[in-house]
Amino acid sequence: MSKAPHHGRGHWPRQLVATAPVLPILIVFVIVLVDLICGSGMTSVPLLAVGPALAATTNGPRGVLCVGLLAAALGATLGVRDGGEDRELAVVLAALMAVTLASVLASSLRGRRERVLAAVRSVAEAAQHALLQPVPATVGPFQVAVRYSAAAAEARIGGDLYALVSTPYGVRLIVGDVRGKGLPAVGTAALVLGVFREAAYDEPDLLAVVARIERSLARNLGSDDFVTAVVAGYPRAGQLEVVNCGHAPPLLVRDSVVVPVDPDLPAPPLGLRTLSGESPALQVLPFADGDQLLLYTDGVTEARNHGREFYPLAEGLARHASEEPARTVTALHDELLAHVGGRLHDDAALLLLRIPVAAETPVTGGITSCSPVDAVRHRP
């Protein structure tokens, strides 16, 4: 019972020190000290306005007012000590108090804007959790890792989308990229994710899931809008289904070899099927213990460095592939940021699946000798 009060007494002094305008007060005392040493007279008194002006950028109105009153009191003391004229001193002190009041107002407005920004950030975070729901480290038989970065400053969501759900028909997932940026792209991403999550539970066939998304987009998108996406499913052990709708090909990792899963029958992006008349095809490929599949958006592969060179994702995946998807994706994301110089200019998403190797299964199984490209089958 005695620990709680002791913790409270120890907490509020630290909080007070953290919120006190230490730097502005220090600057005020430095100006006073210089005046005392150099005897600069009334010329140093106006410099005391730096204190409340600086406090307005870091502290609340009360802190600014305290710094301003302290500066005025010390300025009056210096003026009397240096023998300044009463009228001149009154004008300087009036200007100092005017700066203080203006700084108090600026501090109050800054605090209000910070509270509004905090509310907007909380809404953005709630939207992120509603749209891009956190993916657990294990879903069904898969180890999973996701890394998403929005290009817009302070943004948590953008035009890229991903979702991974466990359904009665196995684990299903989608990774996509909405044409455009900003709030319209976020709205389209929300529409796609909502339809996918519902259809993934209802439709036994993966192509039917894609068709549901296509119909919804046809009703809601403009003629120039579309979404590139890869929709995948794991209906049974050892078999992965992939439907590619105009998206970048996933990268399959097997025996430390990275192979792109290119569709032999290219399909248009979601929302453009009525214009092209082409339908997507279902690819079925073996996916056994130790295999990995990386899905991503073009914000990764189209990221350029200062020499205008694209980021080599396949080479990076070959370097960083490991038995821990989270470590692999983190290494890829860090290398991507280093490649572009620290800031992405487009939304970027990485989603990595891996089936862990069973303890009783040797690493060199029969499946590893199979060529990933030759093993892909197509069903229109």
The answer to whether the pTM exceeds 0.75 is no
Q: Is 163 exposed, middle or buried (0-12, 13-18, 19+ CB in 10 A)?
A: buried
Position 16 confidence tier, pLDDT thresholds 50, 70, 90: very low
Which residue carries 């549901």 as its tokens? Answer: 212
Distance of CA 266 to the CA centre of its chain: 31
Task: Give every CB contact of residue 91 below 8 A, 6+ residues apart in sequence.
Answer: none
Task: Give every CB contact of residue 202 below 8 A, 6+ residues apart in sequence.
Answer: 212
Structure tokens at 300: 């990764």
Query: Could you confirm whether domain 135-379 is CATH 3.30.70.890?
Result: no
| Of residues 31 and 138, more confidently modeled | 138
| Residue 253 DSSP class | E
Task: Give every CB contact of residue 324 below 8 A, 6+ residues apart in sequence.
Answer: 143, 145
Q: What is the pLDDT of residue 84?
A: 65
What is the Cα–Cα distance from 172 to 334, expressed in whole angstroms?
A: 27
Structure tokens at 243: 């439907």
Q: What is the pLDDT of residue 58?
A: 87
Contact 52, 68 (CB under 8 A): yes
Task: Give every CB contact of residue 262 below 8 A, 6+ residues apart in sequence.
Answer: 249, 373
Q: Where are the beta strands (DSSP E) in 269-324?
A: 282-286, 292-296
Q: In the chain, what are the domain boundaries?
A: 3-125, 135-379
Residue type, 48: L
Position 146 confidence tier, pLDDT thresholds 50, 70, 90: very high
What is the Cα–Cα distance from 351 to 162, expressed in whole angstroms?
A: 8
Total residues found in the chain within this entry: 380
| pLDDT tens track for 83-139 | 667 788 888 888 889 999 999 999 999 989 988 888 776 776 666 666 777 888 999
The proportion of the chain whose per-residue pLDDT surpasses 90, expressed as a percent, equals 41
Residue type, 189: A
Residue 187: CB atoms within 10 A of its CB come to 13
Residue 37: CB atoms within 10 A of its CB come to 8
Q: What is the pLDDT of residue 311?
A: 92
Nearest to 299 by CA among 184, 175, 210, 188: 175
Which residue carries 């890869």 as its tokens? Answer: 230
End-to-end CA distance of the chain: 71
* Secondary structure, 3-state, 35-99: HHHHCCHHHHCHHHHHHHHHHHHHCCHHHHHHHHHHHHHHHHHHHHHCCCCHHHHHHHHHHHHHH
| pLDDT tens track for 296-338 | 999 899 889 888 899 999 999 999 999 999 999 999 999 999 9
Assign 133 to helix, strand or coil: coil
Write the Ramachandran bin of 181: left for phi over 0, alpha for psi from -120 to 50, otherwise beta: beta
**Mean pLDDT value of segment 70-76:** 86
Q: What is the pLDDT of residue 150?
A: 73
